[in-house]
Structure 1
Amino acid sequence: MSEHRLMPQSEWGWKVAVYLFLAGAGAGAYTWGAVADLFGGASSLVSKTGLLLGFPLVFIGTLFLIADLGVKPRALRVFMNPGSSWIARGTFIISTFMILGAIHFAAGIWPFRWLMEQESLRHIIGAVNILFAALTMLYTGILLGASRPISLWSTAMLPALFLISALSTGAMAIAFSLAVGEMAAILPGQNDSIARLATLDAILIVAEALAIVVYLQATHKTEESRESLRLMLKGAYAPLFWIGVVALGLIVPLTSAVAEGASFLAVPTIMVAATSLCGLLGGFFLRYAVLACGVRAPLRAGGIAYTFPSTCAR
């Protein structure tokens, strides 16, 4: 067989990584906000913060995805043909999430705060949109999995990993916002809420770490997937993975979350904000690493492997 060089894809870069991160974190924050509203009431600042974060984060992330599509007529053709691509199918999911999320967002600001008094309506919208939030989180992984030539993306573990990571970064986004509000004296007395979020996030970070291990174990069956793992774990993107994902994204926030949740160490509010920010950066680095290390499968004919310029299925 002729020698060939396996190359990572280059068409989907940082803009798509920003979309994957913001869409996941926004949907995750909304989920925890809606759950807190259903079981704790609208007065919960975890609820208010999560519901306020959900819509704008996903909306901003979607703008990055649209920007990555390039030419506007091309983007419109994709969106108007729901059977043509996973981007188009996801448009319905994300659009529905954003419409319902926008209602909750509006209910948190003047002059629409009267919506907060409509408890039954608020709870119905929240319960329905939790489903679309979950689909949004899963879709960020499904979108990549639809690109079949890239083995690193074509595994059922990727949507599961992105779901867990989105729930974790969503909780971190709420904790970061509450910590900043506490420091700025805008939202005083948030220690109890931050401690509860710390306990939740400690569980989610452990689950995410296990999901990463399972994901990496499940993606070493082909030559191109082994090259992807080499790039991620030992090659050009190893510092991004080990420092950005593992150290900043997992170890630092887990250490803080365990200390805060167990109450054996008084973690300063500024440290909560800093470690939550580290966790959020780790969530972005995870998605960027998965994108950047995606190696396309070469076409093989007559025992010869042909590697073509990098493109991804839309």
Structure 2
Amino acid sequence: MGLQSTWGPLVAWDFFLGGAGAGAYLMAVWLGWTDRRHGWLARTGIVLGPVLVALGALLLLMDLGEPLRFWRGYSRPGSSVMSVGVWLVSLFLVLGAVHLARQLRAWREGVVLGWLAGLNGVFALGVMLYPGLLVGVVKAVPFWNTPLWPVLFVVAGLSAGVAVLVGAAQLSRRSGGRPDAVEEAMGVLARAMAVLVGLEALGLLAVLVVASGSGLTAAASVAYLVSGGYAWAFWLGLVGLGLVVPLVWSVLAWSSRSGGGVGNLVPWGTVAAVCLLVGAVVLRYSVLAAGLARPVIP
């Protein structure tokens, strides 16, 4: 029994960038649909989402060792989870580029744009989902063999996407954006962050509980995370920075907004967003780092 060494840091960064980018895009579409007052922030997310996903895809190509082999992922659609992922990422980037072109040219928003955003939102959901499915089919690593990982990856991607939008709103505020518009948007994002981070914490707990009862190898992976060689990163990076800090800020901002006083907490949104993104990176590393392989019995 030993740690898997097939998927390394570049794969973890691809998982992170893909999830954060797709999450930012999907949250931007949601903002644009629910309240046109946040259109300025929605447009920012529509730009940042595909850029982050493309960066993640580039890192994955580098991890291949022979980047020119990437075309094989298109040759047999549906033959594997990885092939499905290649198509999902590619379609998301193509439609994202079309959506971005429409935004940059300031074409009139209408049914076509709404349909395009909705369709690419489905692909964005797939981009967040497929890493969890990808690790789930590796039967040699029992810690990964649970249907909870895809769900957790989706929630974690959405929460990271909210953090990206919080950072974008803060940059807008510092570059002369309307304070009232930024404060209004931060109130909405704080509510979304509180819900998503809370769900992410519950999902992570569920994964650890299920894995602990799934055999000796999976239980050893959990022990490696919570009390072994990766414990400091798990508790400080993932739980402390990635969950507790953003949850505290978002709940305080949400409650303050109910009383009309979110403005004083807006500057701290940057800290919460950065901490959440650090935790998102650590989560992806944790999934891969704790991948104890079942020993091969001759």
2:227 paired residue among 231, 234, 257: 234
Q: Could you tell me the percent identity over the aligned residues?
A: 33
Q: Does 1:174 align with 2:165?
A: yes
Which digits, 9 at most, give the CA deviation of each residue in 1:81-125, with x for residues without a partner? Answer: 33443221211111111111112222333xx222xx141111000
List alignment gaps of at least 5 residues for structure 2. Answer: none
Moved over 4 A (4+): none
Q: In 1, are the aligned partners of 2:254 and 2:262 still within 8 Å (CA)?
A: no
1:101 paired residue among 93, 96, 102: 96
Q: Does 1:160 align with 2:157?
A: no
**How many Å separate the matches in 1 of 2:203 and 2:65?**
33
**How many Å separate the matches in 1 of 2:288 and 2:133?**
13
Partner of 1:275: 272
- Please, what TM-score do these two structures have when normalized by structure 1? 0.88
Q: CA deviation at 1:13?
A: 1.4
Higher helix share: 2
Partner of 2:34: 39
1:212 paired residue among 204, 224, 231: 204
Partner of 2:255: 262
Partner of 1:310: none
**How many Å separate the matches in 2 of 1:106 and 1:144?**
34
1:184 paired residue among 162, 167, 175: 175
The one-letter code sitting in structure 1 at the alignment partner of 2:120 is N
Q: In 1, are the aligned partners of 2:23 and 2:160 still within 8 Å (CA)?
A: yes
Q: In 1, are the aligned partners of 2:2 and 2:294 still within 8 Å (CA)?
A: no
**How many Å separate the matches in 2 of 1:107 and 1:77?**
31
The one-letter code sitting in structure 2 at the alignment partner of 1:59 is A
**How many Å separate the matches in 1 of 2:96 and 2:127?**
12
The one-letter code sitting in structure 1 at the alignment partner of 2:191 is T
Partner of 1:30: 25
**How many Å separate the matches in 2 of 1:34 and 1:168?**
15
**How many Å separate the matches in 2 of 1:118 and 1:235?**
53
Q: In 2, are the aligned partners of 1:144 and 1:153 still within 8 Å (CA)?
A: yes
Which digits, 9 at most, give the CA deviation of each residue in 1:239-277, with x for residues without a partner? Answer: 111000000000001111111111166544431111111
Between 1:63-72 and 1:157-166, the stretch displaced more is: 63-72
Please state whether the residue corresponding to 1:108 is helix, strand or coil. helix
- Please, what TM-score do these two structures have when normalized by structure 2? 0.92
Q: In 2, are the aligned partners of 1:78 and 1:84 still within 8 Å (CA)?
A: no
Partner of 1:311: none
Q: CA deviation at 1:57?
A: 0.9
Q: In 1, are the aligned partners of 2:186 and 2:266 still within 8 Å (CA)?
A: no
**How many Å separate the matches in 2 of 1:42 and 1:106?**
21
Q: In 1, are the aligned partners of 2:13 and 2:59 still within 8 Å (CA)?
A: yes
How many matched pairs? Answer: 292
Change (3 A) 1:267 1:235: farther
Q: Does 1:144 align with 2:135?
A: yes
The one-letter code sitting in structure 2 at the alignment partner of 1:46 is L
Partner of 1:291: 288
Q: Does 1:92 align with 2:87?
A: yes
Q: In 1, are the aligned partners of 2:10 and 2:59 still within 8 Å (CA)?
A: yes
**How many Å separate the matches in 2 of 1:285 and 1:270?**
24
**How many Å separate the matches in 1 of 2:186 and 2:295?**
49
